[in-house]
Amino acid sequence: MTSKSRSRRVRKSRAPRKTRSLTSRIAWGRITAIAIVLGVFVSIVVADKIPLIGASCNPEPEPPKHTQKIRELTSEDSTRSIVAFRSQIQSLIDQSGISSNGKLSIRIMSAQQNEIFFEKNPDHYLTPASTTKLFPTFAAFALLGADHMISTKVFTNAPIEDGIVKGDIYLKGFGDPTLTEPDIKELVSAIAKRGITAIEGNVYADATFFDDITQRHIYSGDNEIVEALAPITALGMNRNGFAVEVQAGEVSIIPHSDAVIVSRSGLSAKEAPVPIIKPSKSKQIASKKSSKKALPIAKKSSAKKTASKKVIPAKAKKKGKKKAAIDPDIQEMIKYVGDAPKAPRSRNRRARVSISTSMNASGMQVVSVSGRGSATSYLTMKNPDMFIAGALRYQLRMAGITVGGSIARAITPDDAELLAEFKHPLSYLVGLVNKNSDNFLAEHVYKLVGASAGGQKQTGKFATETVKRILSNHGIPVDGICIYDGSGLCRKNLFSASVQTMLLNRALKLPFGQEFKNSLSVAGVDGTLKKRMLGTYAQSNLRAKTGTLRNTSALSGYAYTRDGEQLIFSIISNGPSVGEYKQLENRIGEAIANFSYASSLKGTQ
């Protein structure tokens, strides 16, 4: 074979390779182009499906930005949009049919511009129910700061020799209503770390930071109890209640305390025990180490899952003239007084066990148990300060620290030395109050404000005066305000929508503003708004304090519009149609969250 033919053969064999390489390049180019086009298309579709959500769960993200391209708005455009919004809100009120047989006070305003979007009787003072809680919680932050820690301390004025306290110890409370048994164990652990092995004297309870008027309906001057609350005290634990469990002849006090004496009569273990319902963990306030600045309000998993979902508003149904049926969740809400959940019920299925309680001359609580079978009963602490002192004594003994004396009451001496301290953040307490509308805890915040201002006597009166003084200092008029308690259970409390929006607006401009806002429940996510405004732009956006009493409903808070503008609103309704009031609140909240200048202009052009 000649070199010429070899060269020709080589050229022939290389030609197809060049062709395949060119074909491959063209194919890959087409694939790349298609991928780019698909990517752009998918991004456009997905972006179109994502709704404009305003605020979410803690911590709050940046407000949403409007994605529609619209011409620059003029003052006339803004005016027309707000006029259309006012017409929409008035239409919602008219359709509800409640204005004829009830009293309304409503205001909706812009946080950024201080412009009134809508108002109806804004200066009418009505019973606000649990939206009252906004005022003592605001005052607590303003007076003490959002980073304030509520302490519970153990002191002694006796010498300590070779690990032995040669005298008494004093347990002093400063108004923390969230203490639980694990917190008492932490106090004991701190005492043990000091090398203390014995206490020769007594364990004294000091609850003198608050006055001795422990019943809300008494210090508020209320004519009715409305809701029976445990004593409001500066020193207590476990929400000032405890459980008595009787099972197969054995009696247990939960949490444990040396201040409770059990008297048994005729108990028998012969009968098979009925299953005991133990105190729900959800009813116990989880304690955290004092080093943490803020504690979670709701379960993290549920809050995150709900907040992360992009909510696409459902299409609005055509509204007829007939009133819509009241939502089942709203019906359930108004079956009982207030927004907070009911306390756990006692269980005694066979009614063969009798459990009663009384006090002895030493201030100890006596629990009398008789009968056969098993049962669980939830009782209120008669003297919460004595109970917790007994709990401390019990835990000291369980830790191997002997206690020679008994339990009693005494004021902590001025020269006493600090042995141990446990703290909870004020922000944690305020979050529990406002998110869950907890009346018991709210009264403690109210008294904490009064006591922190020097009201160790007549704490309730000092609380009212201090709240009003703080409001006045922040430019909020107090002439028409009436506040008699911290929970809003008292019907003599009076506030207007104007005053409530002024407080909410002022809070945003203060250092504790974000903590205060985060304490409110989030629509469709947590607290008393968990089941409201689901599937709308208000879900994971609107934050507010609810209010519910017989013939009273209220909703006050914040919501972002679709343009990312933050609006402040307050709706207070007094009258017989509580369910319909709450329906109206939902619709107004949804309308606020769905508002957009662009949409309003389209409707008016």
Q: What is the mean pLDDT of the chain?
A: 82
Contacts of 592 (CB under 8 A, 6+ apart): 108, 538, 542, 559, 561, 567, 569
Residues 540 and 310: their CA atoms lie apart, in Å, by 9
For residue 293, name the pLDDT band (cuts at 50, 70, 90): very low
Q: What is the pLDDT of residue 161?
A: 97
pTM: 0.78
Residue 185 pLDDT > 50, yes or no?
yes
C-alpha 467, offset from chain centre: 20
226 or 17, which is more confident: 226
Q: What is the pLDDT of residue 598?
A: 80
Paired strand residues for 251? 246
Beta strands in 481-551 (DSSP E): 521-522, 543-549
Q: Return the DSSP state at 447.
A: H
Residue 342 pLDDT > 90, yes or no?
no
Q: What is the pLDDT of residue 248?
A: 81
Residues 53 and 295: their CA atoms lie apart, in Å, by 25
Tens digit of pLDDT for each residue in 571-593? 999 999 899 999 999 999 999 99
For residue 527, name the pLDDT band (cuts at 50, 70, 90): very high
Residues 587 and 573: their CA atoms lie apart, in Å, by 14
- CB-based contact 378:346 (threshold 8 Å): yes
- Domains along the sequence of the chain with CATH: 75-148+426-604 (3.40.710.10)
Q: What is the pLDDT of residue 28?
A: 60
For residue 417, name the pLDDT band (cuts at 50, 70, 90): very high
Residues 391 and 171: their CA atoms lie apart, in Å, by 11
For residue 33, name the pLDDT band (cuts at 50, 70, 90): low
Q: What is the pLDDT of residue 240?
A: 98
Stretch 517-523: mean pLDDT, rounded?
98
Indicate the helix (H) or strand (E) that contains 107: strand 103-110
Stretch 33-62: mean pLDDT, rounded?
47
Tens digit of pLDDT for each residue in 140-181? 999 999 999 999 999 999 999 999 999 999 999 999 999 999
C-alpha 140, offset from chain centre: 15
Task: Output the CA–CA distances (angstroms, integers) from residue 452 to 65, 324, 448, in the order listed.
Answer: 42, 48, 6
Q: What is the pLDDT of residue 11?
A: 43
